[in-house]
């Protein structure tokens, strides 16, 4: 199997040292294996992503000396493909329309007997106690009410039976890991504003682009089990994963897009050379 990985930033801000670190992890592993690393722009969140940030990502990566095959896949040009992927899951009876607002969901979770759960996207929604009747659904659709599409974990369990709990994936250098595919509950796969979601787009594109290894930050460890479930449901290969630690500032805080001082743009404007940035990445590398 030829090694093929990707760096897949979202152009919702300028890249900072944390992103550069992630890119460096993917690129170095590629160099070691003699494989290929592609760049993909994950810009489906049209409210937050901006073309000027996409350009700035291309400029910053080129400045750092990273090269990748062209053309670069830009996700916002492929909404139809993501919609088809979601339809496949809907055709299998694995999704449902959710008309609830964020507020409704939070209230419902707060009233739940076992207390609220926390996930990377906030609270975990475990699904409705009773499914909505076909009449109510038709009425709400006729009224033009907007809805999101959620994955039904119960229906996934019904479909896969015992296999559901046996899903897993390989972590480079560590071996097999159980997927815990239900950890995030009934996640939104089709947002009401854009009709798709990060989970659908990323799983679709990793398969389409024949990614064999996914190098991503530990902050995305929790969503990986869901991605493995989606790959299984869609009949796609599961890549091998590697999770890299996140680099932090001097106070130990994780770098965020709002930390202007750490953006590659500001470091470049402050007179740093690409070699200086690479040295910083090396120094910022978490130990242990």
**42 binding ligand GLU? (CB under 6 A):** yes
**229 binding ligand GLU? (CB under 6 A):** no
Segment near ligand GLU (CB under 6 A), from 5-13, 92-100, 233-241, 276-284?
5-13
The least distance separating ligand GLU from the CB of residue 198, rounded to whole angstroms, comes to 7
Buried b (16+ CB within 10 A) or exposed e, 250-282: eeeeebebebeebbbeebbeeeeebeebeebbe
**38 binding ligand GLU? (CB under 6 A):** no
Question: Looking only at residues 231 through 250 of this chain, which bind ligand GLU when binding is defined by CB under 6 A?
Answer: none
Segment near ligand GLU (CB under 6 A), from 2-10, 80-88, 132-140, 165-173?
2-10
Q: How many residues bind ligand GLU (CB under 6 A)?
A: 7
CA distances from 105 to 38, 86, 164, 273, 283 (A): 38, 22, 26, 48, 43
Kindly tell me which of 49 and 124 has the beta carbon lying closer to ligand GLU.
Answer: 49
The least distance separating ligand GLU from the CB of residue 9, rounded to whole angstroms, comes to 5
Contact 85, 208 (CB under 8 A): no
DSSP 75-114: GGG-HHHHHHHHHHHHHTT-EEEE---HHHHHHHHHHSTT
Segment near ligand GLU (CB under 6 A), from 7-15, 49-57, 242-250, 279-287?
7-15
Segment near ligand GLU (CB under 6 A), from 3-11, 144-152, 171-179, 242-250?
3-11
86 — phi, psi (to 5°)? -65, -40
Question: Looking only at residues 176 through 205 of this chain, which bind ligand GLU when binding is defined by CB under 6 A?
Answer: 202
Kindly tell me which of 232 and 244 has the beta carbon lying closer to ligand GLU.
Answer: 244
The least distance separating ligand GLU from the CB of residue 131, rounded to whole angstroms, comes to 31
Sheet holding 95-98, edge to edge: 95-98, 148-151, 188-190
Pairing of strands 188-190, 175-178: unpaired
Q: In Å, how far from its chain's centre is CA 143?
A: 33
Length of the chain: 288
- Could you list the residues that contact ligand GLU (CB under 6 A)? 8-10, 42, 202, 216, 220
């Amino acid at each position: 199997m030829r090694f093929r990985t990707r760096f897949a930033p979202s152009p919702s801000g300028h890249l900072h040292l944390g992103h550069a670190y992630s890119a460096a992890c993917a690129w170095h592993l590629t160099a070691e294996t003699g494989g290929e690393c592609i760049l993909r722009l994950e810009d489906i969140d049209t409210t937050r992503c901006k073309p000027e940030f996409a350009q700035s990502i291309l400029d910053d990566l080129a400045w750092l000396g990273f090269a990748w095959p062209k053309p670069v896949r830009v996700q916002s040009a492929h909404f139809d493909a993501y919609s088809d992927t979601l339809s496949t899951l809907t055709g299998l009876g694995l999704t449902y329309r959710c008309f609830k607002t964020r507020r409704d969901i939070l209230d419902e979770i707060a009233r739940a007997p076992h207390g609220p759960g926390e996930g990377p996207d906030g609270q975990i929604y475990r699904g409705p106690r009773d499914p909505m009747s076909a009449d109510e659904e038709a009425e709400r659709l006729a009224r033009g009410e907007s809805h999101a599409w959620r994955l039904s974990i119960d229906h996934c369990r019904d479909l896969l039976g015992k296999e559901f709990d046996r899903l897993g994936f390989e972590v480079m250098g560590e071996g097999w890991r159980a997927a815990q595919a239900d950890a995030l509950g009934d996640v939104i796969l089709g947002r009401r504003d854009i009709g798709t979601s990060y989970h659908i787009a990323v799983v679709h594109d990793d398969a389409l682009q024949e990614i064999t290894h996914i190098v991503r930050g530990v902050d995305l460890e929790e969503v990986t089990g869901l991605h493995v479930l989606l790959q299984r449901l869609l009949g796609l290969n599961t890549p091998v994963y590697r999770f890299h630690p996140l680099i932090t500032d001097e106070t130990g805080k994780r770098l965020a897009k709002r930390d202007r001082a750490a953006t590659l743009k500001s470091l470049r404007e402050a007179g740093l050379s690409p070699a200086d940035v690479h040295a910083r990445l090396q120094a910022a590398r978490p130990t242990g």
